Structure 1
Amino acid sequence: MAVLKTIQKLRDELNLHNYNYYVLDNPTISDYEFDIKLKELQDLENMHPEFFDANSPTQRVGGTITKNFQTVAHTHRMYSLDNSYSKEDLLDWENRIQKVLGNVDLQYTCELKYDGASISITYENGKLVRAVTRGDGFQGDDVTNNIKTIRSIPLQLKGEGYPDKFDIRGEIILPLVEFEKMNQELIEIGETPYSNPRNTASGSLKLQDSAEVGKRKLSCLLYFLAGASNMCWSSQHEALECAKNWGFKVPDKEKYQYKFASGMDQVFEFIDYWDVHRHDLPYETDGVVIKVDKCYYQDELGYTAKSPRWAIAYKFKAEQVATKLNSISYQVGRTGAITPVANLEPVQLAGTIVKRASLHNADQIEKLDIRIGDTVFVEKGGEIIPKIIAVDLSKRPEDSKITDYITHCPECNSELVRNEGEANHYCPNFYGCPPQIIGRIQHFISRKAMDIEGLGGETVALLYNNHLVQNYADLYELKVEDILPLERMAQKSAENLVNGVKKSTLIPFESVLYALGIRYVGETVAKKLAKHYKNIEALSQATLMDLILVDEIGERIAQSVVEFFEKEENKIIIQRLKQYGVQFEIVEKINLNATNKLEGKIFVVSGVFTQFSREELKTAIEDNGGKVGSSISSKTDYVVAGDNMGPAKLDKANKLNIPIISESDFMVMLTEN
């Protein structure tokens, strides 16, 4: 056991030195001394494989090869943030919060918005067990082996008091000095340099060789704790301090990287400071994230379909540059919508080389009077998508001509149509225009839809151009021998494609409905329709009025659904998909404790509870036939109230004479005959 004690002592020492160097930026030994101790530990572990530990400091050097990254569902969804671009936007956001909570005394935590790759890391009993990329927020890729090479991420937590199991969210970043060093090395060997640190960090997480990831000197800044049942914090700033004590690299309060703000005036101070000083940071940031500090207020505010109501991002004003517009091209989307694209003289903008920018539609071109040959001002909308915001008329060529918007599809030459009240022109050749057909199939196979492994957008185009598929139902008839003659297709990749298509028959109905590509039917609408109608037959027979009466389904969506199912081509495709085994009905989860006791009743859950979490209460309501409302209205039957219920909700419930019950009252309601 003496050997095990020596091994554990070295592991503890090296973990501490890693923490001092990569988290505190305060090394206490030289790199040479660290390497000697690491070599000593490696030798001992090699001689005694029975003492192997997946979280040993020696595992950080990498060397694991991952050919295919497994898709993993997030235990707790990773939401995106709503953006704001002015202080007025933030005041409006605060007013919306106050309407829900009442005029309570609000405090905020302000943090820098890091420009990197989002990650969710799971710890159990203090040990790192899994790391998953953000993906689509519902599921991402398991990149655990690559994440372990990042030395600012603890493999074993320090101290005590951490939950038995929890997720911590953060941003993987590539420090600017490391980015510049990598690019210099590429330039010296004649290779193309990377475009920006954010994309390089994101791409690094998907490298197959974890040893290569380890060489890139990535770092990770953690900012949010999720899914802990035994929390030792009651606010966001307390959570950050807890995470810091456990060994995580969190925003540094001493360096003003986060601030506890007692009101919006102090939020503005933090924004004003970093709007000026952000360029002094060792990594890229594009704004500030403002979060309601108290956790029970966060619970009370909850989430929209996409974002937390209790947090918002303030984006710094986008950088602008001037460049020349060389030409305008036109793209055709999967719905037939035409998007004009500006082809620009390449220019550096916010860390990337920009060659193209969206012109949106004919109205935008006419409004700005954009002409080929103009010098135009370009900025990144939200510092992501480049767009033209103005023309420098002083530099306009004398022989410039007004831009005439195209009248026919650039791909199939069909005459374009423009519906009344819509901004876009459309190609009406729905079943014959190649980009529309390819786009629909690409949408069908995408991760949020059928999630077909082994099949990407380029391969779809290859299959279509070689006359192997004309619609997404054709995918289910593909054979390995059909695919092998295609360019860049080997036996294994062809088998993976065919197997991926077969596996997609297990995808649930709500995702299949989204995959069909019905106009205006996004993820959220698809889930509502699937839950309401249960199967494709019932949905296909619904009338316009039936659909409008479904909660949150408007006339535009309803009309689009009716038109989709009226088309004979769509009916044939759906019939074929059924024959191949695609799921066209909801698979109800069997809950032996489920009843219909609460059928027809609408509940609103508010406050902090002691016996159950809010999610457990909501699940119990739905399992017993009830419906969970997001806000109190005259249709609400009961409010299940815990501690710290928002005064605005309490006041509204009292005014409407809605019964307010405790969690104990609710449990009695369920157990009564």
Structure 2
Amino acid sequence: MTESPVADLSREAAEAELARLARALARHDALYYQGDAPEISDADYDALRRRHADIEARFPELVKPDSPSQRVGAGISEAFAEVRHGVPMLSLDNAFSDDEVRDFAARIARFLKLPGEELIAFVAEPKIDGLSASLLYVDGVLEVGATRGDGRTGEDVTANLRTLGEARIPSRLKGSGWPARVEVRGEVYAPTDAFTAFNAAAEAEGRRSYANPRNFAAGSLRQKNPAITAGRPLNFFAYAWGEPAEGFSETQAGALEKLAEWGFPTNPRSVRVEGAEGLLQVYRALEADRATLGYDIDGVVYKVDRLDLQARLGFVARSPRWAIAHKFPAQQATTVLEGIDIQVGRTGSLTPVARLAPVTVGGVVVRNATLHNEDEIARKDVRIGDTVVLQRAGDVIPQIVAVVPERRPADALPFAFPTHCPACGSEAVREEGEARRRCTGGLICPAQIVERLKHFVGRKAFDIEGLGEKQLVAFHERGWIREPADIFRLARDKEQLTALRAEDGYGETSVGNLVAGIDARRTISLDRFIYGLGVRDIGEQTSIVLARAFETWPAFEAACLAAADGIPSEDWVRLNEAPAVSPRAVVTLAEASPPAGDPWPEAPIDQQIALAFPSLAAPARRGLATLADDWAGLVRLAAIARDEGPSEGLGQIAGVSGVGPVAARALALFFRETHNRAMVDALVAEMARIEDAERPKTDTPVAGRTVVFTGALERFTRDEAKARAEALGAKVSGSVSRKTDFLVAGPGAGSKMADALKHGVTVLTEDEWLALIGG
């Protein structure tokens, strides 16, 4: 439905629409800032916020203190400590056209009462599409690093930011002339080539991939475990400061030079220009070069260069008067949809992929695009042969935005989404709440079995030497390996081993090595066994946590089988996983009885939640507001909390710190399937021993201490060193700080050694480390 022009709205209609838009913006803010999982494009979000701003401008008496125009970002996650910003981290107003940029420059000139012919100097810099961060230095030493959060309070991610390295975020400022207390601000981002490589590897290994570099940067920085952040390719550009508010230069351009002198990378495309036309020239140049920059930008930021003029201009609501973001339009092109292919993933999900006539979008040749799921195909009525509008979502992943109906061929038919797996013919079912169908064939499905087996023999699972993708595919095609247990049966089958030598060129030595590699894994640790099963949503770290919590395979299996007897709905899981909604908040919902009728229809949903559940904290209220659009939705949430819940077994799993209801439900669904239980039983029968997990010790010389490993370790691998240290109660970090207790250095130790010497950290050789921990 086309929205009414703002000028045609009555006051009553405007008030109702502002309430609707406020709820929608609150939901999308929480998804973007807290969940790192936006559901709409930046352009669609900007359109919502602009509509809201236009209505408030038309009816200023309707502006409320909690209006989206009065706040920045969204609430912080309870997973991190709070950091109060010395100076608020405000958002910028947006411009979308050349005329709006000229109006921006003219407004500044009028405010400053400058002669019409005098050109104002600005600094124009690329608007990096990443995650804003603030770094507090005291006497030149990094003390605290935080996210923007809601603009006034952010999340303490100091340990994670330190993992970016000295070349990006110095632990101590270089040069001289820095204030005793300075808050440096900038953007954490992911280079596009590194992001693409990470996603490709993640998808190949069945791990989580990210929709775009911004989500990747945010998800990587907001990890509870800094070691995960350390393994992610992140960079940083500095471009602003908080404290000291008076600045440390006379100009914005001069301040950027200072930041570079102090050791921060600054964007080389930042430039000082004069007047609106100068700004537009920079905009057009960056728009033309956008695809070749090596990182994502979604516009250009313009700032008045002289800091004394910035101070005179000041702020209005949530934005400075002296700066604006000139956003790029979404990168789009038209092409012909030549076909729709259905891909079957490792977990059996059926994903439609559009096969396109090649077209260049933003400097990238696109041949395929995601169609997400069958609902998306039906909603857009996408048909083979259609001319379609293509857009790079988040400027990275191509997606079809719309069909050009007037160019549709006369014989184009609606697409019939398959109800059976194209790889094995098994039924493809769609559970309630699921966006995609999944093949029920499991290990009989060729599209899944090889990927599942690759995961099973992978380095972080069973780590079987000599069994790579090539061998697995060949053995599966011959019918030798259909499930994990077959790998161990193969090692005992002399007839097949003889055929292997004859048909594949294996010599007696290579066959012996293969058998030895398989037999060596008949004894396996519990965490590797759990991870090797390839259960959806059960990653390496979760497997370790589960193993330590249940300690033995029988205890873990019993909990999983009990969990399979009582699986809660997807709605219950969504409620428990909502941003900032703690288990205590769910209990509060379950125990309270909200009135059946809405007592305050005109209030935003978060205020209605506060009225119904006064004991809930503000972050939990905001999280619940992302799930409830109105009072009826709120009542439904309360009913879900009260009436649904996990079985005893599932509650036992979900209650393990670091696991949660999503992973618990995935295990319950896996063990509910008869063929999965049969596969596990057959595998267990082939094992000599599934080793009980060791709880981290507390009585060792390194218990509670922080250790970093660096250099080319010769006595053990990095993974072995980490596992042994953690078993002894130590915390293994990826970077050196003043809180590090030991640096274990092999040959070739570099910057970490220098950091250790600077901070007075004890440096040990590998032999000294082994002597310390007892060999």
Task: Calculate the TM-score normalised by the size of structure 1.
Answer: 0.45
